[in-house]
Amino acid sequence: MQTVTNGIFKQPYEQLETAWARYIGTNEAVAVSSGTAGLHLALKALGVGPGDEVIVPDFGMIAAAFAVTYCGAKPIFADCRHETVDVDGGEIKRKIIDKTKAIIIEHLYGRPVYETIPIVGLGIPVIEDACEAHGAEIIGRKVGTFGKLAVFSLYRNKIIQAEEGGLVNTDDPVLANRIRELKSMAFGHAHDYYHHAIGYNYRMTNMQAEHALMELRDIKWYLKQRQAWANQLDQAFSHYTLSRPSGSVIWVYDMVMENQDQRDRVLQALTKANIPARHFFKPMSMQPMYCGADVEIGKNALRFSQRGLYLCYHRSFEQKDVDKTIKIIKENL
């Protein structure tokens, strides 16, 4: 799948960058090897380094905290809201100090962060971790267009996937070019073996890009299929789901149980029946490399981590699989 534009050969990863930037609605997109690599490079592009702090959600995927640590900076954890798992803007505000260089927010399980706009308004560069929210929108605008930078994952369990891979979106050509430079050993345009920075090999392969391009063509259909699956589960379990703001997409189907015993019972039954399901994240503040006397554990993050589970979606699901899932959950509530 090689095309020629104005006489210039465009590689599949470049075609993907163009198509993805257009789909999300940013000026630029950069293809990288994973979502985690994208987060790392987004922070590097903002100049995050030793001595800096970056606020990350306490309830979320550990990649955000790890990316901060890779930069030699310190992750500071902000609790999620009481009602739902997305980060609390008030908590972020409370944790901002002089050393705060960036904020990472995570659009989890397909749900846009409720307070995205006020958080961006705090005036500190925001990186949207949208690895679980391809196609989600806030007031008609796609997530990934609100922060200085945004990161999407193409890992195999994501809404669209390339087995592994990531995409970084931004409107800022300077940031995009910095990421392009860093992701490929900082070879630079001249490619004269004079390196201006310590670079990485975070390149996406053209094989991944070709696969991702195919998936992107069908993204509307994939989103529709997942929504239809969730609609059936909503009918059965509306009391157990978190509210979904309009513009949400379905990545997984999350449920919050009355207590940990109930959650564990349901999860065990699903696992025994070979139905893919997982419990929620554990707070980042409780992970062995980050916990400590001076690290506050988010109360809401902890409560959700004890009571939450999510059902994973698979494209091969048939109606009988959905029926079986509903039956097993109902029997074990």
Ligand X SMILES: Cc1ncc(COP(=O)(O)O)c(C=O)c1O
- Contact positions with ligand X (CB under 6 A) in 89-108: 106
Minimum distance of ligand X from residue 236's CB (angstroms): 26
Q: Is 61 in the site for ligand X (CB under 6 A)?
A: yes
Least gap, CB of 190 to ligand X (angstroms): 31
- Residue 166 interacting with ligand X (CB under 6 A): yes
| Window contacting ligand X (CB under 6 A); options: 128-136, 178-186, 238-246, 320-328 | 128-136
CA dihedral 304, 135, 26, 50 (to 10 degrees): 20
Q: Which H or E run contains 57?
A: strand 53-57
As measured in angstroms, the least distance from the Cβ of 131 to ligand X is: 3
Cβ 158 to ligand X shortest distance, Å: 7
End-to-end Cα, the chain, rounded Å: 50
Phi, psi of 100 (to 5 degrees): -70, 115
Sign, Cα dihedral of 60, 62, 65, 71: negative
Q: How far is the CB of 331 from ligand X (least distance, A)?
A: 30
Stretch that binds ligand X, among 75-83, 124-132, 141-149, 260-268 (CB under 6 A): 124-132
Residues 55 and 95 sit within 8 Å (Cβ to Cβ): yes
**Spatial CB neighbours of 244, under 8 Å, sequence gap ≥ 6:** 110, 111
55: β partners: 76, 103
Of 65 and 267, nearer to ligand X (C-beta) is 65
User: What is the sign, positive or negative, of the torsion defined by CA atoms of 166, 169, 172, 173?
Assistant: positive
Q: Which of 15, 26, 34, 208 binds ligand X (CB under 6 A)?
A: 34
User: Which position among 132, 181, 210, 254 is part of the footprint of ligand X (CB under 6 A)?
Assistant: 132
Quote the CA–CA distance of 205 and 182 in Å, as a whole number.
16
Applying CB under 6 A, does 129 fall inside the site for ligand X? yes
Choosing from 48, 56, 131, 136, the residue that interacts with ligand X (CB under 6 A) is 131
CA atoms within 13 A on the CB side of 170: 24
Q: Count of residues binding ligand X (CB under 6 A)?
A: 12
Q: With binding defined as CB under 6 A, does residue 135 bind ligand X?
A: no
Nearer to ligand X, 138 or 329 (CB): 138
153 is a site residue for ligand X (CB under 6 A) = yes
From 28-36, 51-59, 120-128, 290-298, give the range in contact with ligand X by CB under 6 A. Answer: 28-36
**253: amino acid identity, one letter:** Y
CB of 39 to ligand X, least distance (A): 6
List 155, 187, 237, 317, residue binding ligand X (CB under 6 A): 155
User: Any contact of residue 35 with ligand X (CB under 6 A)?
Assistant: yes
36 makes contact with ligand X (CB under 6 A): yes
What are the residues whose beta carbons fall under 8 Å from the beta carbon of 292, sequence distance 6 or more? none
Using CA of residue 68, residue 183, residue 200, residue 167, what is the dihedral sign?
Answer: positive
Q: Does 237 bind ligand X (CB under 6 A)?
A: no
User: 202 vs 329, which CB is nearer to ligand X?
Assistant: 202
Question: Which residue matches tokens 């979106």?
Answer: 169
CA-to-CA dists, residue 248 to 68, 223, 328, angstroms: 27, 10, 26
Minimum distance between the CB of residue 155 and ligand X, rounded to whole angstroms?
Answer: 4
d(CA 255, CA 245): 15
Per CB under 6 A, residues contacting ligand X are 34-36, 61, 63, 106, 129, 131-132, 153, 155, 166
